[in-house]
Chains A and B, each alone.
Chain A
Amino acid sequence: MIRLVTRDLALAVRAGGGFGLGLAFFLVVTVLVPFGVGPEAAILGPIAPGILWIGALLACLLSLDRVFALDREDGALDLLATAPLPMEGIALAKAAAHWLSTGLPLSLAAAPLGVLLSLPWPGHLWLALSLLMGTPALSLIGTFGAALTVGLRRGGPLLSLLVLPLYVPTLVFGADVARRGAAGLDPATPLALLGAVTLGCLAGLPFAAAAALRVSIR
């Protein structure tokens, strides 16, 4: 399982793996926002946590269709299915690799990007923390969505339609942590709920993803 994670990581980091793509997308979205709503700090500051969360979420979505599709194309998924590792383990390893290659760098990049959107000071730390806690849930949900659509020829648009509504609770709590943190309020409650969402996803979704994978490669 660890081998699978390191293999996927290596594939993601090497050329054509789309590792930098998500980060670059995140950067571009963040840079585009001031052009859309105007450069005043009074406008940008309050919406910065939400914008950064949505940017991170879309950047996560960008690399989702690669989670299983490449392995399916070259037959590696069928080999993995016959390996002694249970399907749930494969789903979990895929989600972990996806998080390490997108969620983690996005969380680290979010705090510096907060400066661009004139996020008030203590907000940076809370933003990074909320993304660090929330993006694993995004990767897990996304892996489930990718498992649902892996057998389809044009699964990309469908994948976004399926996954985005599932992202709602994570986004609500995550953005609320960052918003409260930036406003100087106590973010403990949404932080605890965000952690609950992530842990719940971790406990349940690998099973759902494995069930979907079994159907898709049948």
Chain B
Amino acid sequence: MSLWSYANPVRFMGATRPLVPILGAVAGVCLVLGLAWGFFFTPDDYRQGSTVKIIYLHVPAALMAINAWFMMLVASLVWLVRRHHVSALAARAAAPVGLTMTLIALVTGAVWGQPMWGTWWAWDPRLTAFLILFLFYLGYIALWEAVEEPDAAADLTSVLCLVGSVFAVLSRYAVNFWNQGLHQGASLSLDAETNVADVFYYPLLVCIAGFVALFGALVLLRTRTEIRARRLHVLRLRERMADA
């Protein structure tokens, strides 16, 4: 019994059927709890005032935007190496979710930037890198939509995902070249000595857990839909063959 046995669509569908509502419930509870805790029961920051509270949406969304691309990269590699259809469909299912997370991170960042930096947008390395990530998501989704033959589409998008990952990382460090930028450094890392203060830290962790669960639930749901759509497509083809 290994992870690979879930590459079988029937087993995948069976295993994920109960998982989607569970993850959805976890996401709902965590988000309601974390956001309510963060918005109403934490003090204002002494410099940023109440605008600090956007961290509970901005940071988890940005985190998931990058992790979604990373998940697509792994799923694409699995498809290219082992030819499991579920993997290719999972990569396809994750893309719009990642795109939305990127958009949330960009918009919440702009909303926070207006009172804090005095501008909605600045060509700061981190912001620019996210905008480029957004464009990569758009191109990836557009390529999936454009290719009609499903296996060819999976192959081409996987190759694009691999090459795109290299160029996304390259762009991230290329734009560093301009200047250091406005965006503060990482405020959450496992190896740093000082993170954000504990009052903000714990609700933020709950929100991150909520976003992870939300992402998992949405991707599983969309993957199940893709598998069903694929089955429907095959059934239609078979019907047409029987008619002819």
Residue in B closest to A165 when the chains form the complex, CB atoms:
B135
A154 to B164 CA separation, bound complex (whole angstroms): 22
- 0/1 string, A43-58, CB within 8 A of B gives 1: 0000000000000000
B155 touches A215 (CB 8 A): yes
A162-B152 contact given A168-B174, A208-B162, CB 8 Å threshold: no
| Contact segment of B6-14, B114-122, B139-147 | B139-147
A208 touches B177 (CB 8 A): no
Residue in A closest to B134 when the chains form the complex, CB atoms:
A165
B209 at the interface (CB under 8 A from A): no
B152 touches A216 (CB 8 A): yes
A197 to B162 CA separation, bound complex (whole angstroms): 16
Which residues of chain B come closer than 8 Å to A164, judged between CB atoms? 135
B171 at the interface (CB under 8 A from A): yes
- 0/1 string, A177-218, CB within 8 A of B gives 1: 000000000000010010001000000110010011001101
A148 touches B160 (CB 8 A): yes
Interface size class of B (residues with CB under 8 A): 20 to 34
B156 at the interface (CB under 8 A from A): yes
B229 at the interface (CB under 8 A from A): no
- 0/1 string, B158-177, CB within 8 A of A gives 1: 01101110110011001101
Interface of A is mostly: helix
By CB atoms of chain B within 10 A, which of A158, A162, A172 has the most? A162
B170 touches A208 (CB 8 A): no
Scan residues 148-184 of chain A and give those whose CB is less than 8 A from a CB of chain B. 148-149, 151-152, 154-155, 158, 161-162, 164-166, 168-169, 172-173, 176
A144 touches B155 (CB 8 A): no
Which residues of chain B come closer than 8 Å to A168, judged between CB atoms? 132, 167, 170-171, 174-175
Q: Of B143, B147, B155, B164, which is within 8 A of A166 by CB?
A: B164
Which residues of chain B come closer than 8 Å to A173, judged between CB atoms? 174, 177
Scan residues 118-163 of chain A and give those whose CB is less than 8 A from a CB of chain B. 144, 148-149, 151-152, 154-155, 158, 161-162
B136 at the interface (CB under 8 A from A): yes
Residue in A closest to B145 when the chains form the complex, CB atoms:
A158
Which residues of chain A come closer than 8 Å to B146, judged between CB atoms? 149, 152, 154-155, 158
Interface of B is mostly: helix
B138 at the interface (CB under 8 A from A): yes
A172 touches B167 (CB 8 A): no
A162 to B135 CA separation, bound complex (whole angstroms): 8
Which residues of chain A come closer than 8 Å to B171, judged between CB atoms? 165, 168-169, 172
Which residues of chain B come closer than 8 Å to A149, judged between CB atoms? 143, 146
Q: Of B135, B147, B175, which is within 8 A of A151 by CB?
A: B147
A120 to B78 CA separation, bound complex (whole angstroms): 52
Which residues of chain A come closer than 8 Å to B147, judged between CB atoms? 151-152
Which residues of chain B come closer than 8 Å to A211, judged between CB atoms? 155, 159
Residue in A closest to B170 when the chains form the complex, CB atoms:
A169
Q: Closest CB-CB distance, A72 to chain B, in whole Å?
A: 14
B167 touches A169 (CB 8 A): yes
Which residues of chain B come closer than 8 Å to A172, judged between CB atoms? 171, 174-175, 177-178
Chain B residues proximal to chain A, CB less than 8 Å:
132, 135-136, 138-139, 142-143, 146-147, 152, 155-156, 159-160, 162-164, 166-167, 170-171, 174-175, 177-178
- A-B contacts, 14 listed (Cβ < 8 Å): A148-B156, A148-B159, A149-B146, A151-B147, A158-B143, A168-B132, A168-B167, A172-B174, A176-B177, A197-B170, A211-B155, A211-B159, A212-B156, A215-B155
Known: A151-B152, A166-B164, A211-B159. 13 other contacts (CB 8 A): A149-B146, A161-B138, A161-B139, A164-B135, A165-B135, A165-B164, A169-B174, A172-B175, A205-B163, A211-B155, A212-B159, A216-B152, A218-B152
